[in-house]
A and B are shown apart, each in its own frame.
Chain A
Amino acid sequence: MHTTPRRPILAIAAWAIGPLAALLVAHQAMAESRITAPPNARWSAECGTCHVAYPAPLLSAQGWHRIMSQLDRHFGTDASLEPAAAAEIGAYLERYSGSSRRTAASPDSMRITETAWFVHEHGEVPSAVWRSPAVKSAANCAACHTGAEKGDFRERGIRIPR
């Protein structure tokens, strides 16, 4: 004989809330590696031609400001923009820039790969992977993160090229 719950309402509530709570936890975990800034058309067009349009939360406001102030000498190439495009993209990057804890780097760094978060997340990657011709550079997110172009950096999307 199984016992009937004395307060069916509570049983129903637990039944409904349990999965919901699990879903919320899972969603939180996803959000950690899904870079959530609303996309900006100009940012994705202008910053996504030569490389993955790096999501704003990956770098501090200070880092973005430094990048935007010297686009004509952008990691060895001229990536200069029209003033209107530069102003819109600069404001967008600053608005959604990362918190200082995640994106802490040396004060004059402009590199996402030097942030505390990046170094921590990529500690397990063997150096041979970084040197592989298919990867070429740590800036080449999409070499391993198959969803990088969509801002999706979840574990399940990682395929290390051989």
Chain B
Amino acid sequence: MGGEGAVVRFLAAAAAASVLAGAANAATPAAEQRRFEVEARASAPGFSGFSAQRGEALFKATHGGEWSCSSCHTGNPLAQGKHARTGKPIAPLAPAANPERFTDAATIDKWFRRNCNDVLARACTAQEKGDVMQYLMSLK
């Protein structure tokens, strides 16, 4: 009897642990955006929130170079994109159309690093990343 109870308690604890681990791995876009908010507040004392409008402008502009974000992700981030050089399809970027987007910190950081370098020829600021996320999260 006591042995069975211990097994049940162990299984319950294991199940709870795996749920927690899963939650830690799959963050939400809002939680990921808060990372950039913390960073933006630390670097700019005048931080006054993120703006979908600024994010959209950044997303659709070429910044003195050949490409904008929409060169590959198209002007409608709810739709499937296409790599500007290779033509390979790119899954939609807006979380409403693709729930996997903005749920993994390493993936987010990797693509902001690469794509800001390609489009703006520099790293994006935390403000800019948060603005772009605000725009993408506003699309339904």
Give me the interface of A with B, judged by CB distance under 8 Å: 49-52, 72, 75-82, 136-137, 139-140, 142-143
Q: Tell me the dominant secondary structure on chain A's binding face.
A: loop
- Bound-state Cα–Cα, A51 to B115, Å: 16
In the complex, the answer to whether A80 meets B113 with C-beta atoms within 8 Å is yes
**What is the size category of the interface that chain B forms with chain A?**
10 to 19
B56 within 8 A of A: no
Scan residues 103-118 of chain B and give those whose CB is less than 8 A from a CB of chain A: 106, 110, 113-115, 117-118
B106 to chain A, nearest CB (A): 7
Partner of A82 from B85, B86, B110 at Cβ < 8 Å:
B110
Partner of B86 from A78, A81, A140 at Cβ < 8 Å:
A140
Q: Ordered nearest first, which 5 A-B pairs have the shortest CB separation?
A: A78-B117, A78-B114, A51-B86, A136-B87, A50-B83
Give me the interface of B with A, judged by CB distance under 8 Å: 83, 85-88, 106, 110, 113-115, 117-118
- Bound-state Cα–Cα, A136 to B85, Å: 8
Give every chain B residue within 8 A of A76 (Cβ-Cβ). 85
In the complex, the answer to whether B113 meets A50 with C-beta atoms within 8 Å is no
Given A82-B106, A82-B110, A50 and B117 touching (CB < 8 A)? no
Partner of B85 from A52, A137, A142 at Cβ < 8 Å:
A137
16 further interface pairs, Cβ-Cβ under 8 Å (given A49-B88, A137-B87): A50-B85, A50-B88, A51-B83, A52-B88, A72-B117, A75-B85, A78-B115, A78-B117, A78-B118, A79-B114, A80-B113, A82-B106, A82-B110, A136-B86, A140-B86, A143-B87
Can you list 25 A-B pairs with a CB-CB distance of less than 8 A?
A50-B83, A50-B85, A50-B88, A51-B86, A51-B88, A52-B88, A72-B117, A77-B85, A77-B114, A77-B118, A78-B113, A78-B115, A78-B117, A78-B118, A80-B114, A81-B110, A82-B106, A136-B86, A136-B87, A137-B85, A137-B86, A140-B86, A140-B87, A140-B88, A143-B87
Give every chain B residue within 8 A of A51 (Cβ-Cβ). 83, 86, 88
Q: Which residue of A lies closest to B91 (CB)?
A: A49
